[in-house]
């Protein structure tokens, strides 16, 4: 009997407490009502209380609030964010809005038709626009910009974001005939911690 | 017996998702689909300084601070969470800034000199004195 009570204690102590669910529900309600700042707070609390899916929802709220860089970071730490096509689309938009167009293009390619016809149409348009922009050789100033951004974010301790900017710098430098600052960009990227599993390359 | 109970607990913990969580997933999936934002404008590789439309680091830091305070309040009680939520509800689109603005209005620490004056005039020094909030909010 005591063992059973102990087992129930263990069960109640497991992550994903009713408190977390209450905040998840409140967050979902707020998101549905387009109150994204309120949704973000609720999802953050749910996440802190152990609701694993809350991080992706918080990231989606950040996308809706126009806070793209933070969304990129939160998506990077969210578990299973890439499994859901709609959330994958939000993640791609976070990259797009942070001007991480290569990251966005990769993620949009993974979403493709899986998220329904309306989103699929947006995916096609976005990928076509990105393809046009990336069809010409990137300017040296673009490589400079991404490298500077990478360094800034690294100094702020935002390594996931720094890595995303460095990845972009490496890819853009590699698209230039003169490989402008490619070695430097690759070295800067290599000095950052490895990407978390499931994060955009 | 103990082992059996332990296995039962683990199985229950890892078992079917509670209805509420499943409902949230369904609601969120639909809400996310309906609210799916289009890409913001034509993609243009940056080649210089930040554009005017982009948030500065200082703005971003302010938004994060406001959010952190809201989360702390939400954690401390459902009533306070509701208040934090309604603050953002009325200003969709720029909710982060409005949260910060509202918080500046209601938080006496945003104007220490003013509060010292109020406390000097009001016995007890209660910072919830009527009228002090709107004075700040309007600024």
pLDDT at B7 over 70: no
Q: Residue A67 and residue B35: Cβ atoms within 8 Å?
A: no
ipTM of the complex, rounded to two decimals:
0.83
Inter-residue contact B51 to B40 (CB < 8 Å): no
Please name the member of B74, B91, B98 whose beta carbon is closest to the beta carbon of A42: B74
Over residues B19-75, the pLDDT tens digits come to: 777 888 899 999 999 999 999 889 999 987 544 344 455 555 666 677 777 777 777
- The single-letter DSSP state of residue B109 is G
pTM: 0.67
| Residue that is written with structure tokens 């490895």 in the block | A194
Q: How far apart are CA A26 and CA B50, in angstroms?
A: 36
Inter-residue contact A96 to A126 (CB < 8 Å): yes
Which residues lie below 8 Å from residue A135, measured CB to CB, with a gap of 6+? none
Percent of chain A at pLDDT > 70 equals: 86
> What's the per-residue H, E or C state across A124-168?
HHHHHHHHHHHHCCCCHHHHHHHHHHHHHHHHCCCHHHHHHHHHH
Give the architecture-level CATH label for domain A16-135. Answer: Alpha Horseshoe (1.25)
Q: How far apart are CA A69 and CA B101, in angstroms?
A: 22
Kindly list the domain boundaries of chain A, sorted by start residue.
16-135, 140-190
Over residues A168-185, the pLDDT tens digits come to: 999 999 999 999 999 999
**Secondary structure (3-state) at B121:** helix
Please name the member of B31, B46, B88 whose beta carbon is closest to the beta carbon of A145: B46
- Which whole-number Å values give the CA distances from B101 to A79, A150, B91, in the listed order? 33, 31, 11
Q: Residue A87: its chain B contacts at CB < 8 A?
A: 32
pLDDT at A136 over 80: yes
Q: Residue B5: its chain A contacts at CB < 8 A?
A: 3-4, 6-7
């Amino acid at each position: 009997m005591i063992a059973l009570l102990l087992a129930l204690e263990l069960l109640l102590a497991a992550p994903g407490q009713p408190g977390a669910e209450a905040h998840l529900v409140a967050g979902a309600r707020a998101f549905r009502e387009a109150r994204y700042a309120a949704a973000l707070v609720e999802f953050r609390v749910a996440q802190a209380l152990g609701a694993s899916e809350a991080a992706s929802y918080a990231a989606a709220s950040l996308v809706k609030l126009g806070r793209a860089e933070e969304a990129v970071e939160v998506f990077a730490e969210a578990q299973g964010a890439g499994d859901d096509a709609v959330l994958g689309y939000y993640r791609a938009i976070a990259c797009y809005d942070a001007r991480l167009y290569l990251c966005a293009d990769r993620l949009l390619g993974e979403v493709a038709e899986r998220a329904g016809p309306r989103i699929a149409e947006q995916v096609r348009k976005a990928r076509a626009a990105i393809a046009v922009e990336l069809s010409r050789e990137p300017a040296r100033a673009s490589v400079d910009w991404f490298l500077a951004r990478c360094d800034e974010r690294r100094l702020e301790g935002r390594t996931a974001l720094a890595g995303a900017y460095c990845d972009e710098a490496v890819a853009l430098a590699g698209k230039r005939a003169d490989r402008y600052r490619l070695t430097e960009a690759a070295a800067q990227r290599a000095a950052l911690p490895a990407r978390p599993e499931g994060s955009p390359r | 017996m103990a082992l059996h109970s332990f296995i039962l607990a683990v199985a229950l913990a890892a078992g079917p998702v509670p209805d509420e969580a499943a409902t949230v997933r369904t609601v969120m999936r639909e809400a996310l689909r309906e609210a799916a934002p289009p890409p913001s404008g034509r993609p243009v590789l940056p080649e210089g300084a930040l554009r005017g439309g982009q948030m500065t680091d200082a703005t971003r830091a302010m938004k994060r601070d406001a959010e952190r305070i809201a989360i702390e309040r939400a954690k401390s009680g459902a009533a306070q969470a509701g208040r934090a939520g309604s603050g953002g509800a009325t200003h969709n689109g720029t909710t982060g800034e409005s949260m910060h603005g509202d918080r500046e209005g209601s938080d006496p620490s945003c104007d220490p000199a003013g509060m010292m004056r109020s406390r000097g005039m009001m016995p007890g020094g209660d910072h919830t004195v009527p009228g002090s909030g709107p004075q700040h909010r309007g600024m």
